[in-house]
A and B are shown apart, each in its own frame.
Chain A
Amino acid sequence: MTPHDNRAWLLVLPAMALLVVIGLLPLLAVVNYGFHDIFTLNDVHWVGLEWFADILGSDRFLASLGRSLLFSALALAVQVPLGIAVAMLLLGYRRRAVWGLMLCALPLVVPWNMIPMLWLGMIDRQSGLLGPGLDAVGFDHRFTAWHTWALILLMDTWHWLGLVVVLSYAGLSAIPQAFRQAAAIDGASRWAVFRHIELPRLGGALAIVLLLRFVDSFMIYTEAFAINAGGPQDATRFLSIELGEEIKGFSYGQAAARATLYFLIVLAVVWAFIVATRKGNDTA
């Protein structure tokens, strides 16, 4: 049992104080701005819920929300199973697996604004390594909507697969060998071992992977914008791209209302997720 001691707060206090100043205060400010029309910081008018009603009532917002949700769903559906599969593959290599982990971690250290440049360079028609081949089969990320989607999804997978692999590998390698040996004696199939032994014990690692990948893909900006600026015909206009337009257009009140809504959406998903995992832990 951990001893109860409220003096431990003194140790947590510095970290929490910093997070309150750089996180909570700006968050409260955003919510407050969302209720105002802001021309300059000295010329601010109360507009109540007007911005929120405008945004929630617009078809463009709903369409972007749908696109962002779809993108997150696709990203999770591709990256999580693939990442777990790679982690399991690496697990078989024991000590040499570290080379695989290092390989997978490579894209994580590439600056975000350079990732689309790398990919655009690779599929460039003249000089790209894949460009001439893709051109021959009629791939066109600029004018065909699903090609743009495929490119962004592939790039996002390239970028973030490493995080899924590293965290899944950590979860998998923490499972004592005795569990697998016992299953082997019982003659369990590879799938049964995964389904009944590995997957349940991967819980904590998978939870953080799912959450991080959800929020980061839901708010994808730098990379998606650089590929096709939301096109063709708004086919890749995600939520964050709309927010970026408003900030660039100096309509700060509306941008703040929009930011508040995004934060609430993310918060709702995280909350639902925690409630679900806690229930799962209680019944297990």
Chain B
Amino acid sequence: MIRALALLALAVFILLPLAQAVLLSLTVTLPRDGLAEGTMGLMNYAAVLATPELRAAMISSATYVILNVVLCIALGLPAAYALARFGFVGDRHVMLALLVFRVTPPVVLSLPIFILFSRLGLVNSPVGIALVHALFNLPVAIWILESFIRAVPRALDETAFLDGHSGPSFFFRHLVPAIAPGIGVAAFFCFIFAWVEVVFARILTVTAGKPITMAINAMFGFQTDLGMVMAMTCLSLVPGLAMIWLVRNHLARGFTLRA
């Protein structure tokens, strides 16, 4: 009974701010198109989807997040395999370096990253944001993948190589299927840190390629249409909700500190 009440309180605490957002997103907060203030309905969502800049922002966010997830998994898998299966000179230092990169505050690096990326022509491009988000996502991806690979018996590697599989064919035919849930969890954590991040996403999009977060910021002004802002926010939650649903049964694996 007490447990159920505690869970109920938790659910209210978590859902209340979101309920507020959903409620506002369904309400007309500025009189527009002949609709009176306070009218309920899906008008805000229709207005958001009809605005080209907001549509572009969603595509831009999705582009760099997908690029980032692919990049982190592609570079993280071999590194995680090496760390899980072999000892080598400096392996503990690699782990320590990953930790240091993960905890470096983004705001510390914002200025030189901007200068570096503008020299490389990566400002205003989703590639730039995808690269820079790897700073905190790649370590997390390596930690998660390493723990999943470690849980797979070494016999898998050995029989595969005895069967005559080469390196790449072993990777894709045996290792990847064996740790598919781990790849899902790693993708989930990369996704949530990249989708919601603001500091790098702001400094690296000066004139173009604005992500959802910046598009929402731009909607605040002299007369803010809060209903539209909240509709945009609710839409921005949809991919996150889908990710949570996809990895729900593997979320409980989490990741641990290895340094």
- Judged by a CB distance under 8 angstroms, whether A208 is at the interface is yes
Contact A204 B257 (CB under 8 A): yes
Binds B, one of A58-66, A105-113, A134-142: A105-113
A-contact 0/1 string along B143-178, CB 8 Å cutoff: 100000000000000000000000000000000000
Candidate in B107, B143, B243, B245 with the most chain A CB atoms within 10 angstroms? B107
Q: Which of A202-216 contact B (CB under 8 A)?
A: 204-205, 207-208, 211-212, 215
What is the chain A residue whose CB lies nearest that of B75?
A: A15
Residue A158 CB within 8 A of the other chain: yes
Alpha-carbon gap, A263 to B105, bound state (A): 7
A106 and B196 in contact, given A19-B138, A215-B105 (Cβ under 8 angstroms): no
**A207 close to B257 (CB less than 8 A):** yes
Given the known interface contacts A112-B198, A221-B199, A262-B105, the answer about A211 and B251 at a Cβ–Cβ threshold of 8 Å is no
Interface of chain B, helix or strand or loop or mixed?
Answer: helix
Q: Find chain A residues with CB under 8 A from B113 CB.
A: 22, 26
The docked-state distance in angstroms from the alpha carbon of A18 to that of B217 is: 30
Contacts of B14 in A (CB 8 A): 103-104, 106-107, 158, 161
Does B64 reach chain A (CB closer than 8 Å)? no
Smallest CB separation, A137 vs chain B (Å): 17
Residues from chain B with Cβ under 8 Å of A208 in the complex:
143, 255-257
Main secondary structure of the interface of A (DSSP, over half): helix
Which one of B101, B138, B253, B254 has the greatest number of beta carbons of chain A within 10 Å?
Answer: B254
* Interface size class, chain B: 35 or more
**In the bound complex, CA of A112 to CA of B199 (Å):** 10
Interface string of B26-53 (1 = CB under 8 A from A): 0000000000000000000000000000
Q: Of all chain B residues, which has the CB nearest A205? A: B256
Q: Does B222 contact A (CB under 8 A)?
A: no
**Known contacts A19-B135, A22-B131; A4/B20 CB under 8 A:** no
What 10 A-B pairs are tightest by C-beta distance, nearest first? A109-B240, A170-B254, A204-B256, A29-B112, A26-B112, A11-B82, A8-B82, A11-B78, A8-B86, A207-B257
Seed contacts A29-B116, A158-B13, A170-B251; 11 additional CB < 8 Å A-B pairs? A5-B87, A15-B138, A41-B115, A89-B3, A106-B15, A117-B233, A119-B17, A170-B253, A205-B257, A211-B257, A262-B105
